[in-house]
A and B are shown apart, each in its own frame.
Chain A
Amino acid sequence: MSISVAMTVNGKAVSGKVEARTLLVQFLREHLGMTGTHVGCDTSQCGACVIHVDGKSVKSCTMLAVQAEGAKVTTIEGLAASPDKLHPMQEAFRENHALQCGFCTPGMVMSAIDMVKRHNYQLDEATVRRELEGNLCRCTGYHNIVKAILAAAPAMKSAGV
């Protein structure tokens, strides 16, 4: 069954024809060609596919594209203000060496931004570690990811993002 779907992705209106069973992450990657959002486990555990839908972090491998009809979607591609100016969270990941292979990074960054905002830019290490329970990294052991998020929180606040 072919269904028309329309939503806003990173501020741009997009639309397409999908099947009812098309996952939101498939729509982003395969229909729109936006491959920044990754599919890791495909079982809603690893968090590589985390994006924001109407301002809330969700696992896009466990949402149908049709469920995002009319929604405002933000992906990793929509964070940087310009190609040479990263989002403070991306910059903090870079500065703190918070990635090795980089596969989990898009989801980590999207979860981290949501986390910082929900906690009103005030986080401690224990909170960051607990809040990361939906994101798996198999390289770094999380230490530098936690450091990056703690560094990004005040940077996001002063940048007003």
Chain B
Amino acid sequence: MYDFAYHRPKSVADAVGLLKGKPEARAMSGGMTLIPTLKQRLARPSDVVDLGGVKELAGIKVEGNNVVVGGMTRHADVATSAEVKAAIPALAHLAGHIGDPQVRNRGTIGGSVANNDPAADYPGAVVGLNATVTTNTRKIAADDFFKGLFETALADGELITSISFPKAEKAAYMKFPNPASRYAMVGVFVAKTAGGVRVAVTGAGPCVFRVKAMEDALAKNFSSAAIKDIKIPADGLNSDIHGSAEYRAHLVGVMARRAVDAANK
């Protein structure tokens, strides 16, 4: 790991100030991705701004119909939160299946969403539940947030302060984890909400995406039978040592049907 200047601000305003004007500075939340990246010398930031001391960023609140999760909230806290389990059990389930217990004790929702790893779990929930990402400057709708492989709508120096998840009538997340890393080979988040049915797929492509054909079919009939004949094209899906694009395309259908069945339980 190359050395860098380390900062530990106490507030969002101070963190934003430290990042400003430093194009090679990086914010760090849990560090579960950034530290391994630095160890491999895949990144060489001039400054690392550690958000671990910013108390205002951590915590879970229920505001009306929404569960609002602070950017620095650890996966373990979302997984075990009584509020989240009561309001959106699928979100607690998803958080409880990220990585392993030690990763969940450090990793944060804001870090995961800002990094937008193609195999991360949280983007599935953000898009599947039509969440709103709040930053230090604005609110961004889920469908406008994820732009591509490791790419988001966040500007340089812009920080995720919280993510607001509307409660769903029914929702479930099913993933086929890579047996070694626990990253999603394919994960499908299905939600039946006041605004319609949403099906979000993570792990399969370069970035989380929705499957409109499944959403339309499930809107008419929210059962796994309604989507059993929908085939996902393999074009553009990830193909690597862990599985071919065709294999992942097939898994999308399997995981989507399992998610619908789980949501209906």
Contacts and interface: CB of A to CB of B under 8 A. Distances in A.
User: Of B1, B31, B102, which is in contact with the most chain A CB atoms at under 10 Å from its CB?
Assistant: B102
B72 to A, nearest CB: 13
Contact of B31 (A20, A56, A67, A115): A67
Given A21-B3, A62-B31, A66-B8, A42 B39 contact: yes
Contact of A20 (B3, B36, B99, B182): B3
A1 B102 contact: no
A67 B50 contact: yes
Contacts of B38: 21
A106 interface: no
Interface residues of A, number: 30
Contacts of B50: 64, 66-67
A47 interface: yes
B105 A1 contact: no
A111 B106 contact: no
A144 B182 CA distance: 24
Interface string B1-31: 1111110100000000000000000000001
Given A42-B39, A43-B36, A64-B31, A58 B106 contact: yes
A10 interface: no
B100 A133 contact: yes
Contact of B102 (A19, A64, A111): A111
B4 to A, nearest CB: 5
B232 interface: no
A19 B106 contact: no
B102 A47 contact: yes
A110 to B, nearest CB: 9
A77 interface: no
Interface in A51-69: 56-59, 62-64, 66-67, 69
A134 B98 CA distance: 11
Nearest to B38: A21
16 contacts: A20-B6, A20-B48, A44-B102, A44-B103, A50-B102, A56-B105, A57-B101, A59-B102, A62-B35, A62-B36, A63-B31, A63-B35, A64-B6, A64-B50, A67-B52, A118-B101
Q: Which 3 A-B pairs have the closest CB atoms?
A: A134-B100, A20-B6, A21-B1
Interface of B: 1-6, 8, 31-32, 35-36, 38-39, 48, 50, 52, 76, 99-103, 105-106, 180-182
